Amino acid sequence: MDNYEYTQILKQLNIKLGNIKSILKPNECQQRLDEITNIEQEPEFWNDIEKATKVGQEKNRLLSKLSKFKKANETLVDASELYEMAVEEKDDETIETLFNEASQLEEMIKKTEVEVMLSGDDDSSNAIVTIHPGAGGTESCDWANMLYRMYLRWAENKDFKIEILDYQVGDEAGIKDVSFIVSGINAYGYLKTENGIHRLVRISPFDSNAKRHTSFASVMVSPEVDDNIDIEIEDKDIRIDTYRASGAGGQHVNKTESAIRITHIETNVVVQCQNDRSQHKNKSSAMKMLKSRLYELELEKQKADKSGVSKSEIGWGHQIRSYVMQPYQQVKDTRSNIGYSNIDGILDGDIDKMIEDVLVSQNK
């Protein structure tokens, strides 16, 4: 790297930080924090625990984003001033150090950009994730299970909590269906980028002729709705079926019909839960899933009305991302149009960079 290249990097990072500032609006954030401070001092504030909790969560989100922006801004200003001084004094050692730290500076600015972009109404919510195999039979059931493992590993790496709501084993391999809640800061904000069709190309381990197969699986991600979101579901709008929980053993198997399947008649949305031995608890969880899915469908409808694009079947031409293992190795996201060669790491949960690239591309 030479002086010109480093100067260009600083220039681009300053532009990016300016964009971050325009999204974040630091002055408005501080104004809201001052309002929250006044609200917290009201005598009746702590009497409403639910309201106090939500206000506290909003305060923590604002403080976190404002703190990261300030730190990134100060670091960039320090680097720029130090570089100017080093050039003026012909301090080659300091210049070399700045060159070596350039990638870390770029990464910090990017992470700040992603954090600020996760400021939508639902981004801070927990995420309800459902994975369905699509075209491809046993191969797709196995692919759905691979995606499930990928998200579990990703959540573990971020210290997010996982609660399994429904898990159905495939007839020969993999899974027929899985639904789970991911709980953590900005869980939905991150995982909403995974909403769509995922395509896998590989030599099938289930084909004795070792031929290349293409498989599909859908990932549906909804924000976990709270009581503030008014979604009315009447008894006449749904059909409720009970069945015995099934699976490979443990908590997924019981001898009573405690598992619940709810079908929303108008939209044909189907949710099911068999995580608990109590039919009542499973019904409650399934209703939460249904409300979240209907809420997500409404959000998708609003986006489709604006863009003219809607989702379709789980198959060719509709994927958001392709994972190619043969004849070459690459993961390619259609939204960011970026390819990644570390497919093994990605399938092991290293998906932060892909998520961040999609968020950045969608907010350009």
**Minimal CA–CA distance to 147: which of 191, 187, 109?**
191
CA distance 303 to 293: 15
Q: Give the highest mean pLDDT range of 33-37, 61-65, 121-125, 250-254.
A: 33-37
Q: What is the pLDDT of residues 305-348, one digit of tens each?
A: 544 444 445 555 578 999 999 889 999 999 999 999 999 999 99
Per-residue pLDDT, averaged over 349-356, amounts to 94
pLDDT at 316: 52
What tens digit of pLDDT does each residue of 243-261 get?
A: 777 654 444 445 556 788 8
pLDDT in tens, 90-136: 999 999 999 999 999 998 998 888 888 887 778 888 999 999 998 76
What's the confidence (pLDDT) of residue 311?
47
Tell me what pLDDT residue 307 has.
Answer: 45
CA atoms of 140 and 158, how far apart (whole Å): 27
Domains in the chain, please, with CATH?
3-117 (1.20.58.410), 127-362 (3.30.70.1660)
What does pTM read for this prediction?
Answer: 0.73
Asked if pLDDT for residue 78 goes beyond 90, the answer is yes
- Confidence at 207, pLDDT banded by 50, 70, 90: confident
- How much of the chain exceeds pLDDT 70, in percent? 90
Q: What is the average pLDDT value for the chain, to the nearest integer?
A: 86
pLDDT at position 298 over 90: no
Both tokens of residue 47? 């009497």
DSSP string, 214-272: EEEEEEEEEE---TTS-----GGGEEEEEE---SSSGGG--SS--EEEEEETTTTEEEE
pLDDT of residue 228: 58
pLDDT greater at residue 14 or residue 275:
14
Least confident of 15-24, 44-53, 85-94, 271-280: 271-280
Cis peptide bond N-terminal to 327, omega within 30 = yes
* Mean pLDDT value across residues 12-39: 91
Residue 10 has pLDDT above 90, yes or no: yes
- The identity of residue 209, as a single letter, is N
Any idea which of 18-27, 105-114, 117-126, 164-173 has the lowest mean pLDDT? Answer: 117-126
- Report the distance separating Cα 1 and Cα 156, nearest Å: 37
